[in-house]
């Protein structure tokens, strides 16, 4: 087995911040390396160094035995190193083919050769089993999963020797993930090396032969996937033993506080009935496109409800607006933290108190001191790691941003919390914090609905789980009656695989 | 896969959104024809004379709006159009005044616009300044420079062929249809510019890069598009077109004038927006912009002949801009 890429002693600093303090790793030809580490461990910086977006300050890289020091993204691509970024990087107004070849269009004298552009795009999409996609459809109008595949197609057009996938499955359904793995395995047999970055350790195990762990900008462990347990990997990542990722905090369940009776939205959900009790953590599972987020949105008054009733504390609700819901003590944390959750360039204090400024304003003027004091106490309670309440939320890590988003609902005094994918894109350590926080809230008598596409966390923290399938919500059942297999079966809603695939492609 | 089923209405909607401004233009032409009576006297709305006037009036705005389309598609804005036009006018006037060749005057006017545009683009690209602010500054700088160069008065120059760009080519035959086709060279220049810009924006790497930058700048950068260089080139090219537009205005007025095109940035931006471009970037076409410019001149001309006061014209055009954007918004919401 020959070494495709070897990286030795890479360092990189931004001003006073040392992002990488010594990274070593190597990938063999035709193999997959899982790169794991918490957010902030330096994975993104390392990827940017590998793809030429950043230049390393020190250390060396070898690609197929030749010194490798790309001058920019295009140079890296030309040498056969391609990346699929975690954040979707499509120009949503441009067509699929144009996106696939963006920055790399086949052209003569500056005029794009559309025929060739289409042919290359078609070939790349066929490799991904998306041969029948309309190449002129604006990328922004595709479902997220297909957008992700278009990004991968873009990377494939570079005919990469080394393909880097940064959290490629964060927006994919189980069926799409399987499909992606098939593609990765096929690429490996063609001799392509893959660096696979993911928070999902079981995914890493499914595709990777080796792993490397980054912590605080340094490589702390590496080895064969087969020889290490999940607990080992987590210990390497967080630098300590995680005895309990899913803390079981005892909490008492009371009377019903929220009820949905046969709720239907414009497209989805088509029929959602559930009851949430005081102090209960209710999990809502569904594949992408099943209507689980839409149910929360309809419940919160963001999307219209065409049929059915919402009852809060037994009172049927006639008004449907987010404002009315907040007044009724319901709060929502959107799955899209960056666009719908937080004002990223505003201070933590403002983000925490945005919905309820009354307590520290008089005559319409905000008393900054009291606002910050209130924010500070909330930050202590939620264990938000930040320089202070005046720091911009956008500068925090994903986990801390999520704590701020949840903290806002607490400041508002919400008793019913709707959390849509509360742990998306945050690392194991921060996830554990969020789980503990949810448990604490339930112990204080708050009721929580958690929407997630990650089954282990639902099984780990929920009292009951309901599954959404094509807009229909199954009755909630106690968590003890579920396991991964039964949840997935219910979510697919059918026993045959063909239906499963249809359900997964919205 | 259910894509084909959802694609059909999407396609129809996309087509409709492209045709929307065009339908509006046709409707306006018909409405004014009916309102102003049918016939072939020179005062009639569809008479060759009147249509030629409309085209001449449109061409100045249209050329500038072609440049503006590219800027807006790339997610930018340029408020300095009117001032840059005045600067080019003065530069052209002074070149001729001092005995320069008309060709030299043309080059100088376009170069002046290009320099102003390149300066805008460089400040925006190199320092990450907001286009709104940079070009707001340029609005003052270019206007002031124009006045400074011209000593705050108009610049006269000897008569030559450059002064005839906006007059119809004399045509011996009296056939009315032909008379409509025999438009001023300036109109042909505008048509050529539009075709050239449309090809550039749709067929070239440079043009598609402008769309990519406007649609998702970070993505474009990650894909290796040279965002800074492209931005400078976009503003410089647009500046050159503003210069050309200023040249036509100089020709129309027969003098260089530092106070022309006051407030014209609004007309130019309105043409682009009515034509379907989004101010947040990523969408817009040259064809749409040309139709947008035509809609505005047809409205002006029609309401003029109906005897409406200018005050009402201004209100109407203002309302139409908001309406056009509102319809666009509605359509996008339905499409998603």
- A137 to B7: CB separation less than 8 angstroms, yes or no: yes
pLDDT at position A171 is: 67
**Closest to A77 (Cβ–Cβ): which among B209, B216, B224?**
B224
B13/B335 Cα distance (integer angstroms): 7
Most confident residue range from A465-479, B70-84, B145-159: B70-84
What rounded mean pLDDT belongs to chain B? 86
Residue B282 distance to chain A (closest CA, Å): 6
Task: Out of A266-280, B33-47, B208-222, pick the least confident.
Answer: B33-47
DSSP string across A141-178 = GS-HHHHHHHHHHHHHTT--SEEEEESTTTT--HHHHH
Residue A172 distance to chain B (closest CA, Å): 16
pLDDT at position A39 is: 65
Q: Over 50: is that where the pLDDT of A91 sits?
A: yes
| Tally of CB atoms within 10 A around B331 | 15
User: Within an 8 Å CB–CB cutoff, is residue A73 touching chain B?
Assistant: yes
Contact between B138 and B119 (Cβ < 8 Å): yes
First-to-last alpha carbon distance for chain B, in angstroms, is: 18
User: Within an 8 Å CB–CB cutoff, is residue B283 touching chain A?
Assistant: yes
Sign of the torsion formed by the C-alpha atoms of B233, B238, B241 and B243: negative
DSSP string across A54-66 = S--SEEEEEETTE
Residue B212 distance to chain A (closest CA, Å): 6
pLDDT at position B53 is: 83
Structure tokens at B5: 């089923």
Q: Over 50: is that where the pLDDT of A499 sits?
A: no
pLDDT in tens, B215-224: 989 888 888 8
Q: Over 80: is that where the pLDDT of B169 sits?
A: no
A490/B251 Cα distance (integer angstroms): 75
pLDDT at position B94 is: 94
**Closest to B212 (Cβ–Cβ): which among A102, A134, A505?**
A102
pLDDT at position B7 is: 46
B248/B59 Cα distance (integer angstroms): 9
Nearest to A90 by CA among A178, A44, A20, A150: A150
Strand partners, A224: A210
**Closest to A94 (Cβ–Cβ): which among B1, B204, B215?**
B215
Residues of A in contact with B224 (CB under 8 A): 72-74, 77, 103-104
Structure tokens at B77: 């804005």
pLDDT in tens, A413-437: 899 999 999 988 777 778 888 999 9
Residue of A nearest to B3 (CA): A133
**Closest to A94 (Cβ–Cβ): which among B204, B211, B218?**
B211
**Closest to A91 (Cβ–Cβ): which among B205, B216, B336?**
B216
Residue of B nearest to A74 (CA): B224
User: Within an 8 Å CB–CB cutoff, is residue A98 touching chain B?
Assistant: yes
User: Within an 8 Å CB–CB cutoff, is residue B181 touching chain A?
Assistant: no
Residues of B in contact with A134 (CB under 8 A): 3, 7
Strands (E), B66-117: none
Please work out, in degrees rounded to the nearest 5, the angle formed at the alpha carbon of residue A63 by the alpha carbons of A58 and A66.
Answer: 85
Residue of A nearest to B280 (CA): A93
Residue of A nearest to B211 (CA): A94
Q: Confidence class of residue A442 from pLDDT cuts 50, 70 and 90?
A: very high
Say which residues have a Cβ less than 8 Å from residue B248's Cβ, sequence separation at least 6: B59, B60, B63, B165, B166, B186, B189, B190
User: Within an 8 Å CB–CB cutoff, is residue B72 touching chain A?
Assistant: no
Task: Out of A72-86, A154-168, B174-188, B241-255, pick the least confident.
Answer: B174-188
| Interface A:B, Cβ pairs < 8 A | 80
Nearest to A180 by CA among A137, A215, A129: A129
pLDDT at position A241 is: 55
- B220 to A91: CB separation less than 8 angstroms, yes or no: yes
pLDDT at position B178 is: 59
pLDDT at position B10 is: 60
B80/B265 Cα distance (integer angstroms): 7
Q: Give percent of chain A above pLDDT 90.
A: 32
User: Within an 8 Å CB–CB cutoff, is residue B211 touching chain A?
Assistant: yes
B135/B142 Cα distance (integer angstroms): 10
> DSSP state, A258?
E
Q: Over 70: is that where the pLDDT of B1 sits?
A: no
Q: Confidence class of residue A384 from pLDDT cuts 50, 70 and 90?
A: confident
Q: Confidence class of residue B6 from pLDDT cuts 50, 70 and 90?
A: very low
**Closest to B223 (Cβ–Cβ): which among A102, A110, A134?**
A102
What rounded mean pLDDT belongs to chain A? 86
Say which residues have a Cβ less than 8 Å from residue B242's Cβ, sequence separation at least 6: B64, B67, B81, B84, B85, B88, B113, B116, B117
Residues of A in contact with B212 (CB under 8 A): 91, 94, 98, 102-103
pLDDT at position A87 is: 72
Mean pLDDT of A244-265: 87
B279 burial (CB, 10 Å; 0-12 / 13-18 / 19+) is middle
- B222 to A98: CB separation less than 8 angstroms, yes or no: no
A372/A387 Cα distance (integer angstroms): 13
Residue B188 distance to chain A (closest CA, Å): 24
Q: How far is CA B177 from the centre of its chain?
A: 27
Contact between A363 and A3 (Cβ < 8 Å): no
Q: Which of residues 217-276 of B touch A (CB under 8 A)?
A: 218-220, 222-225
pLDDT at position B170 is: 65
Helix (H, G, I), strand (E, B) or coil at A275: strand
β-pairing verdict for A365-366 and A361-362: antiparallel
pLDDT at position B167 is: 77
Residue of B nearest to A99 (CA): B212
User: Within an 8 Å CB–CB cutoff, is residue B122 touching chain A?
Assistant: no
pLDDT at position B141 is: 96
Contact between A503 and A470 (Cβ < 8 Å): yes
pTM: predicted TM-score of the whole model, two decimal places: 0.73
Q: Which of residues 324-343 of A touch B (CB under 8 A)?
A: none
Task: Out of A71-85, B39-53, B192-206, pick the least confident.
Answer: B39-53
- B224 to A74: CB separation less than 8 angstroms, yes or no: yes
A492 burial (CB, 10 Å; 0-12 / 13-18 / 19+) is buried
Q: Over 70: is that where the pLDDT of A505 sits?
A: no
Structure tokens at A207: 């595709």
Residues of B in contact with A89 (CB under 8 A): 216, 218-219, 222-223
Which has more confidence, A112 or A386? Answer: A112
pLDDT at position A488 is: 79
Residue A167 distance to chain B (closest CA, Å): 17
- Which stretch of DSSP H or E encloses residue A191? none
Residues of B in contact with A505 (CB under 8 A): 1-2
pLDDT in tens, B262-277: 989 999 999 999 998 9
- B211 to A112: CB separation less than 8 angstroms, yes or no: no
Q: Over 60: is that where the pLDDT of A310 sits?
A: yes
pLDDT at position A504 is: 45
Which has more confidence, A124 or A319? Answer: A124
pLDDT at position B114 is: 97
Residue with tokens 């996830």: A431
Residue of A nearest to B226 (CA): A103
Residue A252 distance to chain B (closest CA, Å): 43
Q: Confidence class of residue A502 from pLDDT cuts 50, 70 and 90?
A: very low
**Closest to A112 (Cβ–Cβ): which among B2, B208, B219?**
B208
Residue of A nearest to B73 (CA): A93
pLDDT at position A503 is: 45
pLDDT at position B333 is: 61
Mean pLDDT of A7-32: 86
Q: Which of residues 245-264 of A touch B (CB under 8 A)?
A: none
> DSSP state, B169?
P
Q: Over 50: is that where the pLDDT of A54 sits?
A: yes
């Amino acid at each position: 087995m020959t070494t495709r890429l070897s990286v030795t002693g890479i360092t990189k600093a931004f001003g006073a911040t040392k992002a990488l303090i010594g990274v070593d790793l190597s990938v063999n030809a035709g193999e997959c390396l899982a790169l794991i580490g918490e957010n902030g461990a330096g994975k993104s910086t390392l990827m940017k160094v590998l793809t030429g977006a950043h230049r390393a300050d020190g250390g060396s890289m070898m690609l197929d035995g030749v010194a490798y020091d790309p001058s920019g993204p295009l140079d890296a691509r030309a040498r056969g190193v391609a990346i699929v970024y975690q954040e979707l990087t499509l120009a949503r107004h441009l067509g699929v083919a144009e996106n696939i070849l963006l920055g790399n269009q086949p052209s003569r004298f500056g005029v794009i050769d559309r025929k060739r552009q289409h042919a290359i795009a078609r070939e790349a999409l066929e490799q991904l089993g998306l041969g029948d996609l309309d190449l002129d459809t604006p990328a922004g109008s595709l479902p997220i999963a297909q957008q992700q595949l278009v990004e991968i197609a873009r990377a494939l057009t570079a005919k990469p020797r080394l393909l880097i996938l940064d959290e490629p499955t964060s927006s994919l359904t189980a069926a799409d993930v399987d499909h992606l793995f098939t593609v990765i395995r096929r690429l490996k047999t063609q001799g392509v090396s893959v660096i696979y970055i993911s928070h999902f350790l079981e995914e890493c195990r499914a595709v990777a032969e080796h792993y490397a762990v980054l912590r605080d900008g340094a490589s702390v462990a590496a080895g064969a996937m087969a020889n290490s347990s999940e607990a080992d990997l987590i210990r390497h990542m967080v630098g300590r033993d995680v005895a309990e990722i899913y803390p079981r905090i005892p909490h008492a369940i009371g009377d019903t506080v929220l009820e949905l009776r046969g709720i239907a939205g414009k497209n989805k959900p088509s029929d959602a009935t559930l009851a949430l009790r005081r102090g209960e953590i209710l999990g809502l599972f569904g594949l992408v496109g099943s209507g689980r987020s839409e149910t929360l949105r309809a419940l919160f008054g963001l999307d219209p409800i065409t049929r059915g009733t919402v009852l809060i504390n037994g009172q049927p609700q006639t008004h449907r607006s987010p404002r009315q819901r907040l007044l009724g003590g319901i709060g929502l944390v959107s799955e899209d933290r960056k666009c719908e959750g937080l004002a990223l360039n505003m201070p933590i204090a403002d983000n925490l108190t945005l919905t309820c400024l009354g307590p520290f304003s008089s005559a319409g003027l905000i008393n900054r001191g009291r606002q910050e004091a209130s924010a500070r106490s909330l930050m202590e309670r939620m264990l938000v790691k930040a320089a202070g309440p005046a720091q911009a939320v956008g500068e925090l890590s994903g986990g801390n941003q999520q704590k701020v988003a949840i903290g806002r609902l607490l400041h508002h005094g919400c008793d019913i919390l709707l959390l849509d994918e509360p742990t998306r894109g945050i690392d194991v350590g921060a996830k554990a914090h969020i789980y503990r926080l949810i448990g604490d809230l339930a112990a204080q008598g708050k009721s929580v609905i958690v929407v997630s596409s990650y089954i282990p966390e639902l099984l780990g923290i929920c009292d009951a789980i309901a599954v959404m399938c094509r807009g229909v919500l199954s009755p909630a059942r106690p968590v003890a009656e579920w396991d991964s297999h039964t949840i997935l079966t219910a979510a697919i809603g059918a026993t045959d695989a063909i239906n499963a695939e249809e359900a997964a492609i919205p | 896969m259910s894509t084909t089923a959802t694609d059909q209405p999407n396609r129809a909607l996309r087509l409709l959104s492209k045709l929307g401004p065009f339908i509006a233009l046709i409707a306006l032409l018909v409405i004014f024809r009916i309102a102003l009576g049918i016939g072939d006297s020179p005062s009639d709305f569809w008479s060759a004379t009147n249509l030629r006037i409309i085209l001449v009036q449109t061409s100045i705005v249209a050329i500038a709006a072609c440049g503006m389309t590219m800027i807006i598609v790339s997610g930018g804005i340029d408020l300095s159009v009117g001032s840059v036009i005045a600067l080019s006018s003065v530069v052209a006037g002074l070149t001729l005044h001092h005995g320069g060749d008309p060709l030299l005057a043309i080059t100088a006017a376009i170069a002046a616009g290009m320099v102003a545009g390149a300066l805008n683009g460089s400040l925006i690209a190199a320092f990450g300044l907001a286009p709104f602010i940079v070009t707001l500054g340029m609005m003052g700088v270019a206007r002031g420079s124009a006045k400074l160069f011209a000593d705050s008065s108009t610049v006269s120059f000897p008569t030559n062929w450059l002064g005839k760009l906006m007059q119809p080519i004399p045509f011996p035959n009296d056939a009315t249809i032909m008379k409509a086709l025999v438009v001023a060279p300036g109109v042909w220049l505008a048509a050529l510019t539009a075709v050239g810009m449309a090809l550039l924006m749709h067929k070239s790497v440079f043009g598609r890069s402008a769309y990519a930058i406007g649609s998702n700048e970070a993505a474009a950068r990650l894909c290796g598009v040279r965002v800074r260089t492209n931005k400078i080139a976009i503003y410089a090219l647009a500046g050159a077109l503003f210069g050309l537009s200023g040249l036509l205005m100089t020709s129309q007025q027969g003098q260089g004038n530092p106070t022309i095109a006051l407030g014209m940035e609004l007309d130019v931006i309105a043409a682009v927006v009515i034509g379907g471009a989004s101010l947040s970037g990523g969408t817009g076409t040259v064809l749409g912009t040309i139709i947008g410019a035509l809609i505005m001149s047809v409205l002006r001309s029609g309401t003029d002949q109906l005897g409406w006061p200018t005050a009402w014209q201004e209100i109407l055009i203002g309302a139409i801009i908001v309406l056009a954007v509102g319809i666009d918004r509605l359509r996008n919401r339905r499409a998603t």
